[in-house]
Homo-oligomer: A and B are copies of this chain.
Amino acid sequence: MKEDIRNKLQNVLEDRVFHKTEDCISYGYDGSFGQHIPDFVVQVQSTEEVQSVVRIANEFNMPITPRGASTSLSGGPLPVEKGIIMDFSQWDHYLEIFPEDLLIKASPGVITGDIHKLADEHNLMYAPDPSSSSICTIGGNLAENAGGPRGVKYGVTKDYVLGLEVVTAQGEVIQTGGNTVKNVTGYDLTKLIVGSEGTLGVITEATLRLIPKPLATKTAMILFDDLYTAGKSISTILTSGVRPSKMEILDNNALNRVEDYAKLDLPREASAILLVEVDGDPTILDKELQTIKEALLQIGVDKVDIAENKEDEDKLWQVRKLVSPAIVESGYTKISEDVTLPLSKIPDMFKKIDEIKQKHDLNIVVFGHAGDGNLHPTLNTNMRDQNEVERVEDAVEEIFSYAVQLGGTLSGEHGIGTMKRAFMTKELGESGVQFQKAIKTALDPNNLLNPGKIFPIAGEERLVLRNE
């Protein structure tokens, strides 16, 4: 049978079909962990090719997993039930801007950073800015509804998708949404499919919304003596009347990792730092940072350094950008969590993570997009140390449970994938999961599109790090 499938795939894609283990092995991982070798890898380059592959998959009842640059931190592109990896990275030929309509159209393999560049050339902005934007593809951003630092003011990927071309599980092409910001013509399939992790349809083109590019930015670094006040300052800033464009937090641990890694002369003793960017007309930015400074003084926070010039500002943002590389440097497996909380609950979560860290004797680095309550507690794990692995699994479960208890959510921007599916029922309840499953079953009755993601697997009640 495998030969029959191969022949059919090769009829459509010729030499863009791979089946040997040595060719397929590098398509079996992503930015999370675990390795799953697919039966086939196909490199699609057109909507028609996607349709043909989906039809062949239907004929042989073989799973399909779409894949971009695979920077996913939740297992989105892992072919956990084997089958066909549909690689979009070779399909990047279409990227067009319509400046008068304030929109861009792109094929799924386009690098997100290229979209930023093109918009920028026209004095416009594509706002979503996942930290991996220089290497990730827009297709992956759409699948996972990627976020980024600008989320606090500008929202996430979903907020900038006006329309999609989608190949359904049956191989039909549909258009969702369109070219307009307002659209209430039927159900909002665009926002249903963005973030559905490739489980409801295969995205083959996106129409993205642009906004006028802010004229300037200015950044302040705020130092805190304790984590609780750092957490509290977030609501204080957001209710001061100013709308920051970025608000990123690093705890002492994250700060020191970056300092070890890059020697930037950072205040190693601070319990946490907050980087706050405001954007807009240059004449107003100083005044806005002043407003924030005064609001913080009211809660006893007085260490606010405002970047004097562009160079200083870039240096501050360098700190945030180096957190992940600094953590990866250790060589151990990096488990990036993604809990998101109501703003007022951030201090509680910081306190809890500190307790968990002590209790399980673990090294947990906390950083994240403070302004939208999105924290990334990150654990480094030596996967050869079974005892440590189990402590990490316990810690992750405790963090999730507490997030849900605080009215937060398991994932703000990384997606559920394989990493968080075991916790879905905890957050959504049985009826909530069933409601979601009804949609999946209606649109993909044979469960061919990226199976093994989002929905809990029977018997799997927690994150299991060592299951290969």
Contacts and interface: CB of A to CB of B under 8 A. Distances in A.
Given A344-B98, A438-B443, A178 B431 contact: no
A408 interface: yes
Interface stretch (A18-26, A27-35, A143-151, A252-260): A143-151
A284 B184 CA distance: 34
Contact of A183 (B102, B241, B412, B435): B412
A300 interface: no
A14 to B, nearest CB: 28
A441 B212 CA distance: 41
A318 interface: no
Given A180-B342, A189-B435, 12 more contacts: A100-B235, A100-B343, A101-B343, A102-B235, A102-B239, A123-B239, A144-B184, A151-B182, A174-B428, A211-B243, A212-B243, A281-B287
A302 to B, nearest CB: 21
Contacts of A213: 241
A459 interface: no
A448 interface: no
A331 interface: no
B432 A182 contact: no
Given A342-B180, A411-B184, A432 B174 contact: yes
Contacts of A100: 235, 239, 343-344
Given A98-B344, A281-B284, A188 B191 contact: yes
A436 interface: yes
A158 interface: yes
B416 A184 contact: yes
A341 interface: yes
A66 interface: no
B187 A192 contact: yes
Interface of A: 98-103, 122-124, 144-145, 147, 151-152, 155-156, 158-159, 168, 172-176, 178-189, 191-192, 194-196, 200, 211-213, 215, 235, 238-243, 280-281, 283-284, 287-288, 340-345, 369, 372-374, 407-416, 420, 424, 427-429, 431-433, 435-436, 438-443, 454
Given A212-B238, A243-B212, A184 B179 contact: no
A351 to B, nearest CB: 16
B192 A188 contact: yes
A106 to B, nearest CB: 16
A179 B345 CA distance: 11
25 contacts: A98-B344, A101-B342, A102-B343, A103-B342, A159-B159, A175-B428, A179-B408, A180-B341, A180-B372, A180-B373, A181-B372, A181-B373, A182-B374, A182-B412, A183-B412, A185-B427, A186-B428, A189-B435, A191-B192, A192-B192, A212-B238, A212-B243, A435-B443, A438-B443, A439-B439
